[in-house]
Amino acid sequence: MGATDRKRVIDQLEYYFSDVNLMNDHFMRRVAHKNNGCKTSHSIASHLPFMAFNDISSPTGLPMKTLMRFRRLNALVNNSMDVLTDAVKNSSSDLIETNDTIDGIRRKPCKPLPQMSDQLMASVDERTVYAKGFPKEATVAELIQWAQRFDGFVSLQIGRHRSGRRFSGSLFMTFTDKCLADKMRNQLGVKYNDNELQMETKLEYNFRTKAFINVQKLKSQPKTNGVSNGLSAKDLIPDKSVVIKIMGLKRSVSTDRLKKFFTPYGKVVYCGRHPDGHCLVQFANSLDTLNGLSAIMAPTNGGIDPKMVINGQEVSAQVLSGDEEKQFWIVANHKKSVRSKRREKLNHKKDRKRTASQTGDQSAKRLAQN
């Protein structure tokens, strides 16, 4: 095996054993946990990620015979375990090594895995870019080679269709830090061959996908008088409510402080931060009834966007309208519906317990009377 082929094998193995992959690869964690002498079912290993997360660095690691089942790795080593063993033994990888019996691969002890947490997953999402527009006939090797020209590139996650597992034309690129991810995303006219790509952060992708799912759920609701519930803009958006969009506010300003700032102007129902950085503040009343809010939102210096000063910082503010407002209310109404159903389920459970208790008391009284 040549040096180039050996490097491809090591690169593929380092991706398998990387932090990014192990956070989502339940199969590798489950096999490593089982190989470490633990008997854990598939469902338990999937829901106890931290337990199985550490077994990747155990003395036994992951068996090579299991790794040979990975199609891409198998193709790189021509279905030869000897080639795989030779590549790892003779590599200068800082991440992986063979175990003592040379029948498995593990992470090096000097490269411990970080503790699995929501903060870790959020930090990975921040430095991950979603890109689409790739030709569907592109191979993984070609995509990796293209991605490696960007500074700080770490790993690639290919998007595939559920049916047939074919490449969907989109992927996620993870970088070493958020700055390099933003640098790549903000480049103009990024192309793959002659195809211009569309890019966004993974946080934006997650938000957009969630909003789309919420719309589909609303569409699937039963229709009333021939109109699907929640899809009419008139029914969707309350008459006596306004949502203000705040742009340019530093992330150091908490939503609690923002809510405290707006409370004197009216009742604040919701205050949150969008993944792309802007903040949304929902009032219970319309704009003209809010105490003086219209005045402080007046355009300054002949500008188009109204300005206001929050926590000593000048920010842009505007009333949410159009598609943005409709999307806000789609998400808000869906969350409200979920909370309502959860509350109904809880109340129903309490009623059943109360009824059972009353029935038991009545039975006890009848027995006492007899």
pLDDT at 173: 92
Domain 227-359 sits in CATH 3.30.70.330: yes
pLDDT at 171: 92
pLDDT at 42: 43
pLDDT at 49: 42
Classify domain 3-107 at the CATH class level: mainly alpha
* Domain segments of the chain as ranges: 3-107, 118-202, 227-359
Residue 333: which of 209, 238, 199, 201 has the closest Cα?
A: 238
Residue 95: which of 23, 13, 166 has the closest Cα?
A: 13
Fold classification of 118-202 (topology level): Alpha-Beta Plaits (3.30.70)
Q: Answer for the pair 247, 316: CB distance below 8 angstroms, yes or no.
A: yes
pLDDT at 301: 43
pLDDT at 135: 92
pLDDT at 220: 65
Residue 172: which of 57, 31, 23 has the closest Cα?
A: 23
Question: Mean pLDDT of residues grouped by 10 in the chain (370 residues)?
Answer: 82 85 78 63 42 53 86 88 88 85 84 73 85 91 89 88 83 91 88 90 80 66 48 50 83 83 84 80 70 60 61 81 77 77 82 73 68
Same CATH topology for 118-202 and 227-359: the answer is yes
Number of neighbouring beta carbons within 10 Å of residue 76: 22
pLDDT at 234: 46
Give the Å distances, CA to CA, from 296 to 39, 211, 299, 305.
64, 31, 9, 12
Calpha distance 237→230 (Å, rounded): 9
pLDDT at 50: 41
pTM for the model stands at 0.54
